[in-house]
Structure 1
Amino acid sequence: MPHDRNEVLQALQSIVGEANATNDPSVICSYAWNAGVGSMPGPKFLKNWPIAVVMPGTTEDVAAIIKCCVARGLSFRPLSSGNGGTYLSASENVVVLDLCRMNRLVKLDAANQMAVIEPYVTAGRLQAEAMKVGLTCHIVGAGPSHSPLASATSFLGVGITGSSTGANFRNILGIEWVTPTGDIVRIGALGGDDDWFSEEGPGPGLRGMIRGLIGANGGLGVFTRIGYKLYPWAGPPRIAITGTSPMKGMALEPNMRLFLPVWDTVEQMRDASFRLNRAGVAFALLRMPPNHIGWTLTASNGEYARLREAGQLPECARPEHRFGWQVLTIGHSPGETAYQEKTVRHIVSDTGGRMLPIEQKDAEMLVRTLVTSLYVSRVFRGAGAGGTSFGVMDTFNLLPDVIRASEQLMAKEKKPGRYFAADGDEGCWVWPTESRQLWTENILASQAGTVRGVAAGWKGFLRHLNLVDRNPRLGLMAFMAGPLIELFGPRYSDVPTWMRRIKRRLDPPGLADSTVHVGIKELPIAKSWPTLQKIAFSTAGAPALHLLCLLLGVASRKEKLPKRKS
């Protein structure tokens, strides 16, 4: 149904003021730009541009905006700070709520190790303030520019300091939520006595409904404030930066130790993982493939390539040292620091591992990436385009199976003339969540700027999804959002049906944009997907899958299909 754009704009401006709502195409175009997700972007601009962009300043503004949209049958989509394209909307007549004005760090309560934050408080800003009082926060893979509120309420929320700072889906305390009908709901202790200390009571405890495991990505309304759990930080109140851009590191304090243990087999690494997690001595525990470490420790792709060809990369970035961890410990006292070091060295030695040496400048680079989660942009630099797959959240017993499956799938696209740019056998990042649960995802780095490069990224991504869906030995697939929930969700206790029941109850007209969630209606392809899946990933269906991925590459790059060589 067509809408009077000027009438919509005037209604929004009456809520937030003339300066904070617009339908000017020169502004709207930036909200229609497809940031994509790495190697699998769509066209540069979305088909459907927002009808307006509005910047609320308060929770009451958000509630009034949603009611304004509901009265006119307009979809709405919230946007805060992050890394990736999950804010994108496929809806027509969508109003984008840019929450950039809601950037208040309302309270930092050191005694109770928590903060109250709004959507545009970034993890880097929160961490910097928390460190001044001996605390830190969980920072997910999106890095220090992401919104902890968005991560905790609306997306997966796992990051490399999961050994010591939990996971954001458990770090939520009190919640302030504007429902898809514009009602303001305060959850948990906040709903009982106006305190933020607990999400679970004495008011309604709705965390499982509003976010589940991976979150609704705006499909169930807007979260405007949360109480957020912080964790002890034994490091300095301010990070001492070393080096110069782009090779800035962090000085190691006397109570910090960085270890780079490696093992000959992935089974040895797995066994050591159980013991390291059980010991609980690590502030951060991260595994990246050696080539990803190499990209992190070099200023440019050219430098990485030169060092690699000359055999001069640091030992931890050499392909023969694949099965290893970066272990960062930070002690609260000299005695604890010594205990942590003794424990790590004993576990590594007892499981057949050895420690790699590392120069101070390289150690400082790795420590900064571990503390602030700054590694993502450096790793994606290697190919210019990248995506991710698997997203396995399960037991560490599955680690060998996941790495071997990644090797098998990536080998098909790394033959001469193919379009994966990574020079390693696989791209698995690994870390523990809450010092117990395996998290691993496989990075797909494909050649940017080419149809076949994008097609390779898509094909690798789809094959990973299919393999996890068919193989219980690869655990729970946590990267399910939008259409993927419809296609692969039935394996998990028919989760799309339950999510849709909640969606229909909370949002009867379906106006909270569900591009990255489930809609009111089931996707037409969902019922036929089991049959299509068998065909697409069979030997006979391989040419059709290849053509589909090429067409996705054409759509994303607006290039002509390459001519087939005779």
Structure 2
Amino acid sequence: MIQGATMGLSENALQALTEVLGEEYICTDPAVTRAYSKNFTSIGIKPPAGVALPGKMEDIQEIYRLANRFDFKVIPTGTHMFLACEPQVPFYDYLTIDPKRMDRIWIDEENMYAVVEPYATFGRLQVEAMKRGLTCYIPSGGAQISIVANLTFQGYHMAAHRLGAGSRSMLAMEWVLPDGEIMNIGSSSSPGGEYFWGEGPGADLRGMIKGLWGFCGGIGMCTKAGIKLFPWPGPDKLPTRGDTPDKRVFLPEDKFKIYAIGFPNMDSMIDAMYEIGRSEIASASLHLQKGWYAADTSLSQEHYFSTWESEAYQKSVENMLVVMLTAYTSKKQLEYEDEVLRTIMDEYGGKLLPDEIQEGVAQLVVPDLTIRPNVIFRGFRIAGAFFDIKGVCDSLDHSALCHKTTLPLLKDFMKDKTPPFVDDEGGHHYICSYDFAHMGFVEMPFLFEPDVDYKNVKIGLRLPVLGLFHDVRHRTHTAFLVNAAADIMGPFMGGFHKIIRQVKATFDPNYVSNPGWPMFIWPRFLKDGIRSALDAYRDKKEEAKQDV
């Protein structure tokens, strides 16, 4: 529904958009646009001036061409779960591209890959892939997330020990640039090309789209992508019992073995993770801090805290390593990997945790993290919201170092803030093996209760900022290498911020595609900021005159 021009969209721009999309697929109604002003953190963000629902790639091309012609800003989204494609510059009005009409999936079973549009989710792809004896990586953020959005944003997941980082599953792509031109990457760049290969011709442009983080709509929008699929030896439908939130998965024991192993200390656990990788066994290998098991198996907030506060529970899950073995080829492979794992346990002092923990890990924790991810929503049940101090992709040793050095910062921050913050002593941190332990990923979430005026989230956002300066002091890797943070960390990390700024300025010279992501173009930012402040000042003076 169109309710007339807004500050960010002129009458001419709205008329042109309507001609391209049709009146039913462009909306400026505040009752609709405000629905796009929330995300998982509970942060209230500036609502868009309008929402566009394109049905095909050509629609998105025209939207960007009109943005350059009529000088309005565009921010593409996926399923709008996380805060990647959201406004970073508060004084810009913008048009949100919601791709929910573009949700198609094509599966090439023989060549083990799929092609997806921006609104296709991991859950839908996983269901269809399993029917064909295949599977895909699924991020711990949840199976309801857009595949394209996650591929081009982060791609972190907890089955990465064998499947590799999500970006390794990224194949050919179709990309609409901020000027409306099409960039085809990989095999799709050949006339009539398919989406089975991501490199070339020439330079691998996927590296421009995503490094540690992606461009988050800052250089246009991906409209189609290829994603790798992997063998799935399990059933085509997960065997479950019970009801949510205690709906458990019972994987066939001749195909899967899942273990929860306790180690004497974190160093011996990390050494065991390296040895598991060197032995090239297991499909998942990850360390979960003490809060994870309680969060994933608890039926209520009260249940969680009663479990967490138990001294017996605290001891039972200390230095816990979760390992999943999978019979990709035969039962003999599973038996061999089981024997190797037990040898590694003996060498590094690992002991199987109690049977109750084993059951919960096998039936809830591992499925919820690697096969049907929804653990993030179990985390929300504890307090209502979370954010990260950091999420770092480096070596396993460096992941452990980041965890150890950051804990004092976290504890000091929580001293006088509980509640509304949950002081779980880093209980929801985790370290995940990637690529058979050639790489490690550590994420450090903290939990808090959201409130109506966003006071708590504003307090919580100080923690990642403190973490940046903490990383400089300790020479540890940081996660938030975008926006102003990139200018802080760039000089310590090879001046990468200058290169990213050049890419942004080259591909988006008119600054129309999610301004501020991934870097502020400071001269433009300051110029537009001053102009916006002057306009606001004039509007207030005009209102004051009218009141008189």
CA positional deviation for 1:482: 2.7
- Of 158, 161, 170, the residue aligned with 1:160 is 158
Deviations 1:445-496 (A, max 9, x none): 2344397744552333222221112222x2x323323332233233221111
When residues 223 and 3 of structure 1 are mapped into structure 2, their CA distance, relative to the original with a 3 A threshold, is closer
What count of residue pairs does the alignment treat as equivalent? 510
Deviations 1:61-120 (A, max 9, x none): 110111111110111010112532222213523111111111000x21122111111111
When residues 63 and 308 of structure 1 are mapped into structure 2, their CA distance, relative to the original with a 3 A threshold, is closer
- Of 321, 327, 331, the residue aligned with 2:327 is 331
Q: State the partner residue of 2:285.
A: 285
Q: State the partner residue of 2:33.
A: 28
Structure 2 contact 273–285 (Cα < 8 Å) conserved: no
Q: State the partner residue of 1:466.
A: 469
* TM-score, structure 1 as length reference: 0.85
Distance, in Å, in 1 between the alignment partners of 2:251 and 2:295 is 21
CA positional deviation for 1:169: 1.7
Which secondary structure state, in structure 2, belongs to the residue aligned with residue 444 of structure 1? strand
Matched, 1:17 2:22: yes
When residues 296 and 77 of structure 1 are mapped into structure 2, their CA distance, relative to the original with a 3 A threshold, is same
When residues 3 and 230 of structure 1 are mapped into structure 2, their CA distance, relative to the original with a 3 A threshold, is closer
Structure 1 contact 160–373 (Cα < 8 Å) conserved: no
Deviations 1:417-444 (A, max 9, x none): 6453133355421102222201001111
Deviations 1:163-183 (A, max 9, x none): 122122221111101010001
When residues 288 and 50 of structure 1 are mapped into structure 2, their CA distance, relative to the original with a 3 A threshold, is same
Q: Which amino acid aligns with 2:518?
A: H
- Of 432, 445, 448, the residue aligned with 1:446 is 448
Distance, in Å, in 2 between the alignment partners of 1:143 and 1:284 is 17
Matched, 1:397 2:397: yes
Comparing 506-515 with 379-388, greater Cα deviation is found at 379-388
Q: Which amino acid aligns with 2:74?
A: F
Matched, 1:69 2:70: no
Structure 1 contact 190–203 (Cα < 8 Å) conserved: no
When residues 479 and 276 of structure 1 are mapped into structure 2, their CA distance, relative to the original with a 3 A threshold, is farther
Matched, 1:81 2:85: no
Matched, 1:237 2:233: no
Q: Which amino acid aligns with 2:383?
A: A
Q: Which amino acid aligns with 1:358?
A: D
Q: State the partner residue of 1:540.
A: none
Matched, 1:322 2:318: yes
Which secondary structure state, in structure 1, belongs to the residue aligned with residue 76 of structure 2? strand
CA positional deviation for 1:148: 1.8
Q: State the partner residue of 2:355.
A: 358
Q: Which amino acid aligns with 1:469?
A: V
Comparing 320-329 with 55-64, greater Cα deviation is found at 320-329
Q: Which amino acid aligns with 1:73?
A: D
Structure 2 contact 151–166 (Cα < 8 Å) conserved: yes
Distance, in Å, in 1 between the alignment partners of 2:168 and 2:100 is 25
Q: State the partner residue of 1:535.
A: none
Comparing 228-237 with 84-93, greater Cα deviation is found at 84-93
Structure 2 contact 114–228 (Cα < 8 Å) conserved: yes
Deviations 1:147-205 (A, max 9, x none): 1211212x121110101221222211111010100011212221124121212133663
- Of 343, 346, 349, the residue aligned with 1:349 is 346
Structure 2 contact 290–428 (Cα < 8 Å) conserved: no
**Ranges in structure 1 where 5+ consecutive residues have no aligned partner:** 526-566
CA positional deviation for 1:309: 4.8
Structure 1 contact 143–374 (Cα < 8 Å) conserved: yes
Distance, in Å, in 2 between the alignment partners of 1:201 and 1:97 is 29
Cα root mean square deviation, aligned: 2.4
Distance, in Å, in 1 between the alignment partners of 2:457 and 2:520 is 28
When residues 169 and 136 of structure 1 are mapped into structure 2, their CA distance, relative to the original with a 3 A threshold, is same
Structure 2 contact 260–361 (Cα < 8 Å) conserved: no
Distance, in Å, in 2 between the alignment partners of 1:101 and 1:325 is 42
Distance, in Å, in 1 between the alignment partners of 2:119 and 2:320 is 36
Q: Which amino acid aligns with 1:253?
A: P
Structure 1 contact 58–102 (Cα < 8 Å) conserved: yes
Q: Which amino acid aligns with 1:152?
A: L
Which secondary structure state, in structure 1, belongs to the residue aligned with residue 150 of structure 2? helix
CA positional deviation for 1:23: 1.0
Q: State the partner residue of 1:533.
A: none
- Of 149, 174, 177, the residue aligned with 1:176 is 174
When residues 383 and 483 of structure 1 are mapped into structure 2, their CA distance, relative to the original with a 3 A threshold, is same
CA positional deviation for 1:45: 4.7
Q: State the partner residue of 2:539.
A: none
Identity %: 27
Q: State the partner residue of 2:137.
A: 138
Deviations 1:23-64 (A, max 9, x none): 111111112x232636xx3xx352xx3222110111111101
Which secondary structure state, in structure 2, belongs to the residue aligned with residue 390 of structure 1? strand
Structure 1 contact 446–456 (Cα < 8 Å) conserved: no
CA positional deviation for 1:138: 1.2
Q: State the partner residue of 1:223.
A: 222
Distance, in Å, in 1 between the alignment partners of 2:272 and 2:283 is 16
CA positional deviation for 1:241: 1.9
Matched, 1:484 2:485: yes
Which secondary structure state, in structure 2, belongs to the residue aligned with residue 287 of structure 1? strand
* TM-score, structure 2 as length reference: 0.87
Q: State the partner residue of 1:369.
A: 368
Q: Which amino acid aligns with 2:434?
A: T
Distance, in Å, in 2 between the alignment partners of 1:451 and 1:119 is 30
CA positional deviation for 1:337: 1.3
Structure 1 contact 83–143 (Cα < 8 Å) conserved: no
Q: Which amino acid aligns with 1:331?
A: A
Structure 1 contact 197–227 (Cα < 8 Å) conserved: yes
Distance, in Å, in 2 between the alignment partners of 1:312 and 1:243 is 27
Q: Which amino acid aligns with 1:37?
A: T
CA positional deviation for 1:497: 0.8
* Aligned residue runs from structure 1 range 193-204, under 5 A: 193=191, 194-202=193-201
Structure 2 contact 290–427 (Cα < 8 Å) conserved: no
Deviations 1:369-424 (A, max 9, x none): 13222212212332222111221211122244222213211221343664531333
* Aligned residue runs from structure 1 range 456-535, under 5 A: 456-472=459-475, 474=476, 476-521=477-522
CA positional deviation for 1:524: 8.2
When residues 422 and 516 of structure 1 are mapped into structure 2, their CA distance, relative to the original with a 3 A threshold, is farther
Which secondary structure state, in structure 2, belongs to the residue aligned with residue 409 of structure 1? helix
Distance, in Å, in 2 between the alignment partners of 1:307 and 1:208 is 44
Structure 1 contact 56–99 (Cα < 8 Å) conserved: yes
Distance, in Å, in 1 between the alignment partners of 2:48 and 2:209 is 25
Structure 1 contact 180–512 (Cα < 8 Å) conserved: yes
Structure 1 contact 289–424 (Cα < 8 Å) conserved: no
Q: State the partner residue of 1:531.
A: none
When residues 501 and 330 of structure 1 are mapped into structure 2, their CA distance, relative to the original with a 3 A threshold, is same
CA positional deviation for 1:6: 3.6
Q: Which amino acid aligns with 1:15?
A: V
CA positional deviation for 1:121: 0.7
Distance, in Å, in 2 between the alignment partners of 1:128 and 1:36 is 25
Which secondary structure state, in structure 1, belongs to the residue aligned with residue 55 of structure 2? coil
